[in-house]
Structure 1
Amino acid sequence: MSHPTDHLNQQVWDFVYAYDAAYDRAARAAGLSSAQACLLDHLESGSRTMGELAAELLCDASNVTQLVSRLEGGGLVDRVPDPADRRVKRVSITQAGRGARREVHRAFDFPTARLGRLTEQEQRRLSELLAKTLAPDPDRVPRG
């Protein structure tokens, strides 16, 4: 016998998969991998160290090194020593990188197309429900 949340759980996974697949298609349309496009998104608000990028992207530093090297080779990011600690490398997005990022966002129509199927009231309700599910659990004891 299935649990009442099984169907909802499957719908959430289906939505996440469809969202990720659409983002991947948009990135490929701009000549990038989805990981490269995501890295460019993280640089839009300012430069980051390689370690900060690894933490934000939830991946190993070696993966970030590979991503940055490919983006740097395409002129989409710059990597320079941090002025405060020359052992640390800072990565920043270039004008060409901003253009590639805009291209990905133009091609990524999934949120607008799918959420546009909902009325304004349904969108507000979905937003409220998502906020509730994503809020920190007050009963959970932080690890540390």
Structure 2
Amino acid sequence: MVTRIGALEQQLWDFVSAYDAAFDRASEDNGLSAAQACTLTPLTGEKHTMSELAGLLLCDASNVTQIVGRLETRGLVSRTPDPADRRVKQVAITPDGRRLRRAVAKSFTFPRERVARLDDDEQEQLAHLLAKMLS
């Protein structure tokens, strides 16, 4: 017998899986892997060190080094030595990287489409429940 919590866990798992699959498709539709698209996401205006990026992405620094290397080869990010410590590399998004990041965000319609299925009261309730779950 499936408990209510067990059923909710499965629904959450199904939602997260669908979300991830939709992000993968949006990334691939724009010529990126999901990992590459995720790496572009936190790169806004300021530069980040490789270790900062690894922390933001919750992954190992060696993975970030490989992903950033591929993005750099495509001209989507640049790496420069940190002026305070030349052993440390800073990563910045390029104009082409910004354009591609925006294209992925535009293609990633899954969250907007799913939330739009809810009326205003349901959206407010969902926001409240998600905040409660995440606190």
TM range, smaller chain: over 0.9
Alignment TM-score, normalising by the size of structure 2: 0.97
Q: Report percent identity of matched pairs.
A: 59
User: Aligned residue for 1:109?
Assistant: 109
Number of aligned residue pairs? 135
Structure 2 unaligned regions, length at least 5:
none
**Structure 2 Cα separation of the partners of residues 45 and 27 of structure 1:** 21
The runs of at least 4 aligned residues of structure 1 exceeding 6 Å deviation read none
Structure 1 unaligned regions, length at least 5:
136-144
**Structure 2 Cα separation of the partners of residues 109 and 22 of structure 1:** 8
The alignment yields a C-alpha RMSD, in angstroms, of 0.8
**Structure 2 Cα separation of the partners of residues 31 and 128 of structure 1:** 36
**Structure 2 Cα separation of the partners of residues 2 and 108 of structure 1:** 33
User: Aligned residue for 2:57?
Assistant: 57
Quote the offset at 1:4 in angstroms.
2.2
**Structure 1 Cα separation of the partners of residues 134 and 45 of structure 2:** 23
In structure 1, give the amino acid aligned to 2:79.
Answer: R
Alignment TM-score, normalising by the size of structure 1: 0.91
User: Aligned residue for 2:40?
Assistant: 40
1:14 paired with 2:14, answer: yes
Q: Within 5 Å, give how 1:113-132 maps onto structure 2.
A: 113-132=113-132
Matched residue of 2:89: which SS?
strand
Deviations along 1:2-36, one digit per CA (max 9) or x if unpaired, are 32201100000000000111011000011001111
